[in-house]
Chain A
Amino acid sequence: MAAAVVPKFVGTRVKRREDPRLISGNGTYVDDVKLPGMLSMVILRSPYGHAKINSINVEAARKIPGVVAVVTGEDLKGKLGSLTTAAPAEHIPYHPPLAQGRVRFVGEAVVAAIATDPYKAQDALDAVEIDYDPLPVISDPEKALEDGAPIIHEEFKTNISTRAQVASGDIDGAMRSADRVIKFRLVNQRLAPVPMEPRGAVAQWNQGSGQLTLWSSTQGPHLLRSYLAEILKLPENRMRVIAPEVGGGFGAKLNVYAEEVLAGYLAMTLKHPIKWVERRRENLATTTHGRDQIVYVEAPVKNDGTLLGLKAKFICDAGAYLQLLTPLIPGFSGMMMTGCYKVPAMAFEQLVVFTNKMAPDAYRGAGRPEACYIAERTMDMVALELNLDPAEVRRKNFIPKEAFPAQIPSGLVYDSGDYAAALDKALKIIDYPKLRAEQAEARKQGRYIGIGLCSYVEICGIGPSAMLPPTMKGGGWESATIRMEPDCKVTVLTGVSPHGQGQETSFAQMIADEFGIGIDDVTVLHGDTAIVQYGTGTFGSRGTSVGGAALMMATQKLQAKMKKIASTMMETPPDQIVFHQGTMALASDLSKSIPMQKVVDAAYGYKVPIPGVEPGLNESAFYEPTACTFPFGTHACVVEVDPDTGVVKFLRYVAVDDCGRVINPLLVEGQVHGGIAQGIAQALYEEVIYDENGQLLTATLMDYAVPKAEMLPHYELDSTVTPSPVNPLGIKGVGEAGTIGSTPCVVNAVHDALKPFGIKNLDMPLKPERIWRAIKSARKA
């Protein structure tokens, strides 16, 4: 086998190739796309959580100068298919892009106005008259299950969309042989992903060629094309979807939305390009939400802290209509709820329930933050009830490192891990014993310091195609094409669709090392279905692991071909040739080499035929993961709670994460920082709130508290490195791990601080008022 590549870029902090355009204001986001004759679409939305539409009067609206069209759901009846969900579910509601006869959540799209600019389109909407008859609202999923509850989709005669039940091992036996069963209720509250760039789409129809081009702020242009083509009744080979610069997604842009359908349809019918960009209020109301699970947990334990099993009943709020992955997300929560622990028995039951709200869907972690929350709050509950140290309870129950690959009760197989090492590292960094002593001292002085731990494991690198529902388009694989151009520069076409993750840089690092060329000699293209072969997109922390593996496969094919060509020129067997600093050289003597350019000239010029080798240098690969990967780690934080105000202050935040092999440590840090910020936000600040009338109370950034810099701590990062055996590059992935590990860490820290008050189970977000009231009650008692 030829000598290995001498690494130069992989593993080093390389600044990003993406940045020059973004720091100069030269990135093109969807709202920057301008086309001749382009019209603006603005949407009028339901002000009611549940209502019958008696009539819609658009006559005055249509007459306003500059207004080209005003469209209702009735106008579209029979012309467009329903929006869809990829997941199998017992009850899937019909979901028209504009409401027909009924509205079922505040914000549901009712009327679309198209005008020469957005100001005039809004003028049109202001002139629309709608007569609604309000109907009873369900905004509590547990109430939705009660007898006599108003039914949101009458044809189903129930508010249950779907249900699941999984059991493994002898959970009843575990309950019987337990010294005690710890029971508690957890709420994983509804969140809004809030990417800084709201959603938007521009659709352009070419009447001559019969081709629709759609720019969309999306995480999966190929998937979007397939779904939209079906709804719009267009062949996929006459539809082009482009993801331009995308200003954040976090899962919320991995979907198929009503407005994308409307923009496409109206571009085709009005024969003008149509632009639609949502306002932030619309983003908070009608871009998919996240989480929203109520979980009843039962944990049978021995008095020494051994966890004998875990049982959970989930009530998952699905909103009024299912978006693309809504019913899929809770499955991850159930399957991963035993976390890092060698629990012999588990059982869960899940009900996915309709309410008069927007649909939740994938949001950073997508089901795994909920699972980790269950596991890690359980560990702290166990420690609290049995008066044991929370670090030791975890250690006692960890799956040991010798056990990997480790099958867990739900049937998943964890690839590799060393949970104790990550815990030990985190404890060492915070100097745990010293901290506990300081905490004890502080308590004597009436100061409430809390230490929080979270040992997490999560499932990502999505994934083997069979894990996706048969009803879902596409698979879990990823694609790559690598092309050596005639001038020795490399073009990479990747099927992943980064929106901040940095693959233009990390993939360039990989290729630069593989060929011994400069990073600037590699260009990575993505996000355009006319340029890039079918791909799956960016989500589930899969970009570098799955996308990178596809790229390596394609690269190996290209290198094999180039070695074959070189071997005819160097009269040496191909397997003794390596790439070295822009040359192709003898592995045994790097000074015996030919410039790579000569091999490239031979391939493109082909003036001398090469037997058994076609001209050109262009190879593609489609990588099907054999399994998912399982990043893990321990987060530890120290907080102080002010008992008079309930305010939580961070004293320290430490994260020890294991994402396997790292291509660019700078990018990994960025992902962990950003992930932690969103996880802390769930613990302390954010919550989507609907009142009992289904009114969205958190419709601006003043009410929905996305954290500002002063609300977040300084992060101290460290790592362990346990390569993944299931990914050819050893990469586990890291995009969501920070979010998963941080939420329980902070919640555990606050509860640890409040331990002297006997406060055991407060729900997130742990806002000052909530903490203050709990302390007040405790002090009274």
Chain B
Amino acid sequence: MRVTMTINGQQRSDEVEDRMLLVHYLREVAQLTGTHVGCETSLCGACTVLMNGKAVKSCTVLAAQADGAQITTVEGLAKDGELHPVQEGFWEEHGLQCGFCTPGMLMLATDLLSRNPDPSEADIRHALDGNLCRCTGYQHIINAVQYAARKMRGDARKSA
């Protein structure tokens, strides 16, 4: 079947098998390998992207279900060479070590901050319920999200 979607502001249209998962469409067809596959049961969150502005696990969405949608992946966060505040936060606060869960974390953080511009530590821990990290123990990720939140509150720049 044919699917058409806008990914990071660019529209594309492809012929795919009905059963193709969105994460595989992004990685193999759209050639955007920043979104990662960490499990096959939608537990780990490494595949998190924004679909029409909301965080979804792209391993549990068929490409067909994303037909007509606006998708934002980690590759679409930076604008004109300038890092998104969540990316800056993760860099400043050592919110990543191996980097594998990071794209999913960045998209989740972007979603969280669009709903809650001043999340507490408890808010962030709760929001991270669907995203696993094995390296950081989460504390620096929390610091990173709060860094981004502060920057976005003090900054006129629009979030993704």
Contact = CB atoms under 8 A, between A and B. Distances in A.
Interface of A: 15-16, 18-20, 22-29, 31-32, 117, 119, 194-198, 245-248, 250, 277, 279-281, 499-502, 666-667, 669-670, 673-678, 700-702, 706, 708-710, 712, 714-715
Contact of B92 (A15, A197, A198): A15
Given A31-B33, A708-B132, A15 B94 contact: yes
A22 B96 contact: yes
Given A23-B83, A248-B135, A666 B94 contact: yes
A592 to B, nearest CB: 40
Contacts of A674: 97, 134-137
B5 to A, nearest CB: 18
B64 interface: no
Given A15-B94, A675-B137, A677-B134, 13 more contacts: A19-B99, A23-B96, A25-B103, A196-B38, A196-B98, A247-B101, A280-B40, A280-B43, A500-B97, A702-B43, A706-B132, A709-B124, A709-B125
A675 B137 CA distance: 7
B142 to A, nearest CB: 7
A746 B126 CA distance: 22
Contacts of B135: 196, 248, 500, 670, 674
Given A500-B135, A706-B132, A667 B98 contact: no
A702 B40 CA distance: 11
B128 A709 contact: yes
Interface in B102-128: 102-103, 106, 121, 124-126, 128
A47 B129 CA distance: 32
B138 A501 contact: no
Nearest to A33: B33
Nearest to A706: B132
B98 A499 contact: yes
B48 interface: no
B96 to A, nearest CB: 6
B113 to A, nearest CB: 16
A195 B27 CA distance: 20
A197 B33 CA distance: 13
Contacts of A247: 36, 98-101
B39 A700 contact: yes
B33 A676 contact: no
B136 A22 contact: no
B65 interface: no
Nearest to B44: A701
A245 B103 CA distance: 14
A701 B42 CA distance: 9
B160 interface: no
B132 A701 contact: yes
**Most chain B beta carbons < 10 A, residue from A18, A502, A701:** A701
B78 A24 contact: yes
B58 interface: no
Contact of B34 (A24, A198, A667): A24
Contact of B38 (A26, A117, A198, A700): A198
A281 B40 contact: yes
A675 to B, nearest CB: 8
Contacts of B101: 196, 247
A16 B106 CA distance: 17
Interface residues of B, number: 56
B19 interface: yes
Nearest to B91: A19
A715 B139 contact: yes
Contacts of A280: 38-41, 43-44
Nearest to B140: A670
A10 to B, nearest CB: 17
B146 interface: no
Nearest to B84: A23
A23 B97 contact: no
Contacts of B78: 24
Contacts of A195: 98, 100, 134
Contacts of A709: 124-126, 128-129, 133, 138, 141-142
B46 interface: yes
B66 interface: no
Contacts of B92: 15
A23 B41 contact: no
A404 to B, nearest CB: 30
B137 A676 contact: yes
Nearest to B76: A25
A541 B81 CA distance: 36
A278 to B, nearest CB: 10
A501 B28 CA distance: 29
Contacts of A32: 27, 33
B140 A196 contact: no
A499 B99 CA distance: 9
A739 B101 CA distance: 20
B98 A197 contact: yes
Contact of A710 (B46, B90, B126): B126
A706 B97 CA distance: 17
The 7 closest A-B pairs by CB, nearest first: A25-B34, A247-B100, A22-B99, A500-B97, A673-B137, A677-B137, A500-B98
A18 B37 CA distance: 21
A20 B140 contact: no
A605 to B, nearest CB: 37
Contact of A27 (B19, B99, B128): B99
B83 A702 contact: no
Contacts of B40: 279-281
Contacts of B131: 708
B57 to A, nearest CB: 12
Contacts of B96: 19, 22-23, 500
Contacts of B46: 196
B41 A702 contact: yes
Contact of B36 (A26, A29, A246): A29
A677 B138 contact: yes
A246 B98 contact: yes
Contacts of B100: 29, 195-197, 245, 247-248
B139 A19 contact: no
Contacts of B44: 196, 280, 701
B149 interface: no
6 contacts: A23-B90, A25-B32, A196-B38, A248-B100, A280-B43, A709-B124
B41 A700 contact: yes
B129 A26 contact: no
B137 to A, nearest CB: 3
Contacts of A194: 134
Contacts of A710: 125-126, 128-129
Given A19-B91, A24-B87, A25-B74, A670 B138 contact: no
B17 interface: yes
